[in-house]
Amino acid sequence: MNFLKRLTASLLCVAMLTGMTACSGPDKTWAAKTNEKTLPIGVYIYYEYLAYQNASTKVEDSTKPVLEQKIEDTDATQWIKKKALDYTKLLFVIDNKMKELKLSLTDAETKEIDSTATSQWSSYKDTLEGYGISKESFSMATAEFNTKSSKVFEAIYGAKGSKAVSDADLKTYFEKNYTDFSYVMIPLYNPTTYAALDEKTEKEYKQFLDDQAAALNKGSTTFDAVSTAVQKKLSLDYAPSQNVTTLLNEESGYPTDLISLINGMKAGEAKTITLSTVSAALLVVKNDVTKKTATQISNASTRSEVLGNMKHQEFEDEMTKLAEESKDITVNDKAIDSYQPTMFVQKDTGSSSTAG
């Protein structure tokens, strides 16, 4: 299970920073090692970078410097450094698990790791190299780790795993935690000029959706018919609708007011909402999620996704515990202490810079 992949994917696009890298001597080229493997310092720096970005999303006051605040009741600097070291140690834990479970990377997986790392590196090279992170370190910390952790996860929780999750348990989890909904959206701005609609047009569109929602709740129309009606009204060459099956929480990426609306609805109910964050009016229908169970569980890809969501925290906790308890890992304190989270702070503002 790629539990670091979630963090990596969400944070790499949040902030690409500029800064100065600390000087390093011969004794500072590696971060940690065992008798079998040595991790370059770039792996630790990369994880410290991710931990800093993660910390910036957890502070109470986004207007104040991250490092002057606390994260989960811990000094931000110490929280970041601990997270970075924990992530680094996880690479050894996953390698040990691979050996314990008699797993190995196939030639195809090795090629895919290189391809994925190369593709991502082209986007982040300038920033990461500025901190002393090489492509090799980046690949080890991301693509290689994610592939290995997925294999270990599958070997534990997959169909033939030591803690295999049955379809019955997966079904129960899916129907209790997932939400299925459909929505049709009308932008409250001109899609060409991005200028806000005039008050009359906006009111007309909102009333139109209210009327359609009322018709749906009466059973006098269908969602497909509503979608087609909106397409016709806006003179579009496509239907501005979407069906979604997901874990509907803050991590899902949907606006909190939309999440609250849907969570308070009954299956089959239609409601409208105006989302200022995206400048749009929506008609939302909450569907019966149990009608999606068979498809979600029988399809290998979606089954894997549901299983990942069900067990990722348990897996992460177990691997992190093993990392913290490991006695076989030697940490190069002089090296990691020479790379402090302050290196990721933009000097003129005291906070990290951001780029789309």
pLDDT per position as a tens digit, 286-344? 999 999 999 999 999 999 999 999 999 999 999 999 999 999 999 999 999 999 999 99
Whether 74 and 189 share a structural domain? no
For residues 223-247, average pLDDT: 96
Whether 8 and 147 share a structural domain? yes
Query: Mean pLDDT, the chain, as a whole number?
Result: 91
Residue 4 reports pLDDT greater than 60: no
Whether 265 and 147 share a structural domain? no
Whether 229 and 340 share a structural domain? no
Quote the pLDDT of residue 19.
37
223: domain CATH number?
3.10.50
- With bands split at pLDDT 50, 70 and 90, how would you rate the model's confidence at 27? confident
Angle at 159 between CA 110 and CA 7, to 5 degrees: 50
Start-to-end CA span in the chain (Å): 27
Cα 308 to its chain centre, rounded Å, is 13
Residue 14 reports pLDDT greater than 50: no
Domain end point (choices 260, 275, 292) = 292
Taking residue 75's Cβ as centre, other Cβ atoms within 10 Å add up to 13
Quote the pLDDT of residue 346.
78
Please name the residues in contact with 97: beta carbons below 8 A apart, sequence gap of 6 or more.
103, 152, 319
Whether 51 and 199 share a structural domain? no
- With bands split at pLDDT 50, 70 and 90, how would you rate the model's confidence at 251? confident
- With bands split at pLDDT 50, 70 and 90, how would you rate the model's confidence at 345? very high
Query: Is pLDDT larger for residue 250 or for residue 20?
Result: 250
Joined tokens for residue 344: 């990721």
- With bands split at pLDDT 50, 70 and 90, how would you rate the model's confidence at 2? low
Whether 288 and 195 share a structural domain? yes
Whether 88 and 206 share a structural domain? no
Quote the pLDDT of residue 5.
54
pLDDT in tens, 136-186: 999 999 999 999 999 999 999 998 999 999 999 999 999 999 999 999 999
Whether 323 and 287 share a structural domain? no
Q: How many helices (H) and strands (E) does the chain have?
A: 13, 9
pLDDT in tens, 39-87: 999 999 999 999 999 999 999 998 999 999 999 999 999 999 999 999 9
Query: In which domain, by residue range, is 199 found?
Result: 173-292
DSSP state of 208: H
Rounded to 5 degrees, what are φ and ψ at 237?
-95, 10
Whether 105 and 158 share a structural domain? yes
Alpha-carbon distance of 273 to 280, in angstroms, equals 9
Whether 12 and 160 share a structural domain? yes
Q: How many residues does the chain have?
A: 356
Whether 273 and 308 share a structural domain? no
Is residue 186 included in any domain, yes or no? yes
pTM: 0.80
Is residue 354 included in any domain, yes or no? no
Please name the residues in contact with 65: beta carbons below 8 A apart, sequence gap of 6 or more.
345, 350, 351
Residues 295-328 as b or e (16 or more Cβ within 10 Å = b) = ebbeeeeebbebbbbbbbeebbeebbebbeeeee
Is residue 247 included in any domain, yes or no? yes
Alpha-carbon distance of 314 to 273, in angstroms, equals 36
Residue 15 reports pLDDT greater than 60: no
Please name the residues in contact with 88: beta carbons below 8 A apart, sequence gap of 6 or more.
31, 32, 39, 43, 44, 47
Domain end point (choices 275, 292, 309) = 292
Quote the pLDDT of residue 356.
32
Alpha-carbon distance of 137 to 259, in angstroms, equals 38
Alpha-carbon distance of 188 to 203, in angstroms, equals 10
Domain end point (choices 250, 269, 292) = 292
Query: Number of structural domains, the chain?
Result: 2
Quote the pLDDT of residue 349.
43
Is residue 356 included in any domain, yes or no? no
Alpha-carbon distance of 114 to 238, in angstroms, equals 38
- With bands split at pLDDT 50, 70 and 90, how would you rate the model's confidence at 264? very high
Cα 222 to its chain centre, rounded Å, is 34
Residue labelled with tokens 């999750």 = 165
Is residue 350 included in any domain, yes or no? no
DSSP state of 72: T
Whether 157 and 191 share a structural domain? no
DSSP state of 341: G
pLDDT in tens, 173-208: 999 999 999 999 999 999 889 999 999 999 999 999
Q: List 244's β-bridge partners, or say none.
A: 181
Quote the pLDDT of residue 348.
38
Cβ atoms of 152 and 42 within 8 Å: the answer is no
